[in-house]
Amino acid sequence: MKIRYMVIVGLLMALISGEVKAVDYPPQSFDITNVSKMVLPAVYPAYMASTRTNSMTNAVNDYIRITTNNQDKFYWCTVAGISSNVEPTWATSTDVVDGTTTWRYVNPRRNAITIVNNGTSKVFMSYAFAAVSGKGISLNPEGGSYSAGYSGIGVHQGEIFAISESGTNSISIHEE
C-alpha cells in the first residue's frame, strides 16, 4: 500500500512539474455503429496493462506497458491480433503495427478533447461504461461536437465510449 501511494505521489509530482508531457495527437477517426465502442482509452492504465511478449494474443481494448529508458509507456489495442516475434519500434504519434495487432499510444496527460460527429444520425457517449443509444452525452448529426478542457471544463481521464443511434457514423477526435 505504501509503495502504491509513493508511485501515485510521484506521478502527480511529475505531472505538476511538467516532466510528463501530453502529445498533441493528429485527429483520429472512428466508425461508430449501434454497438458501443471505446473511442478513447484511460490516461494512466497501469493497473490494467500487461507486459508485451512475442506471439502474444491481443484483444481490442487490451493495454500493454512498454518500458524504455526507465520510463513506462502504455499502448491500447485497436485491432486484435497476435504480436510479432520481433518487438516493433514504439511510436507515440502514429499507430504501431505489431504482427497482426495494432497499438495506439495512450496519452499520459489528457488536457483537452474535441469529438465531432461527421455522420447523419446522433451519436451518444458515455464515460467509463458502454454507451447506450438515447442516453448520455449526445452529439447531433453532421458536425455536432463535444469539447472539454478548454474553458476550465474538466476532462475525463478514463475510458470514453460511443454508440450510433442508427447506422454507421464517423466521428473524429482531437486530443491534447
Please write the tens of the pLDDT for every residue from 31-41: 899 999 988 88
Query: Beta strands 49-51 and 63-68: pairing type?
Result: parallel
**CATH 2.60.120 spans which residues of the chain?**
22-41+110-175
Q: What confidence score (pLDDT) does residue 47 get?
A: 82
Residues of the chain with pLDDT under 50: 1-22
* Per-residue pLDDT at 5: 38
Give the SS3 label for residue 30: strand
Q: Which CATH number among 2.30.30, 3.40.50, 3.30.2120, 2.60.120 corresponds to the domain 22-41+110-175? A: 2.60.120
pLDDT at 6: 35
Integer CA distances (angstroms), 133 to 31, 61, 111, 118, 161, in order: 15, 21, 27, 17, 11
pLDDT, residue 26, reads 63
Question: How confident is the model at residue 8, as a pLDDT?
Answer: 40
